Amino acid sequence: MSVLIEQFKQSFKYTGRLSVSDFRRWSAWLLLIFILTYIAHLYAVHVLDNYGGSSINAVTGVFVFYATLLLVYVFLMFAITSALIRRHHDMGRNGWFSVLWFVPYIGVGYWIYLLCAKGTQGPNAYGPPA
């Protein structure tokens, strides 16, 4: 839990390094967040399908849900980008390699690579080990 809190505190920090073990924990938390939001999305679709035509409250509730979800996803994109950049710094690479994560199909394989690759031992150009 402390890794999650620490990552959220550093969501807009794009310097320094992020160790592979912290990146794995952060990735697990992100996966959990995305699964939970997807389940909530399925419930919102169910509400719209069953009550959307008969209740303005249902439509309003779903609209508020999606507006909130959009804000959460925007924040998570900054957090993900920060973690990716710092993970690349840990491997001694420029943070621009993070763009590969956003390429469809390639991104998933690249994410798995980042979960397995070891960082550089000792200090590098981006700072001391995390």
Residues 8-42 pLDDT 10s: 777 788 888 988 998 998 888 888 988 998 898 88
Q: Is residue 29 part of a domain?
A: yes
3-state secondary structure of 120: coil
Q: Is residue 87 part of a domain?
A: yes
Residues 109-124 pLDDT 10s: 999 999 999 998 989 9
Q: Is residue 124 part of a domain?
A: no
How many Å apart are CA 18 and CA 86, to the nearest integer? 5
Is residue 91 within 8 Å of residue 84, measured between CB atoms?
Answer: no
Residue with tokens 């992020």: 18
Residue 127 pairs in a beta bridge with 124
Residues 6+ apart with CB under 8 A from 62: 44, 47, 48, 52
Provide the whole-model pTM.
0.81
Q: In which domain, by residue range, is 82 found?
A: 24-116
Token pair for residue 30? 């992100």
Q: Is residue 95 part of a domain?
A: yes
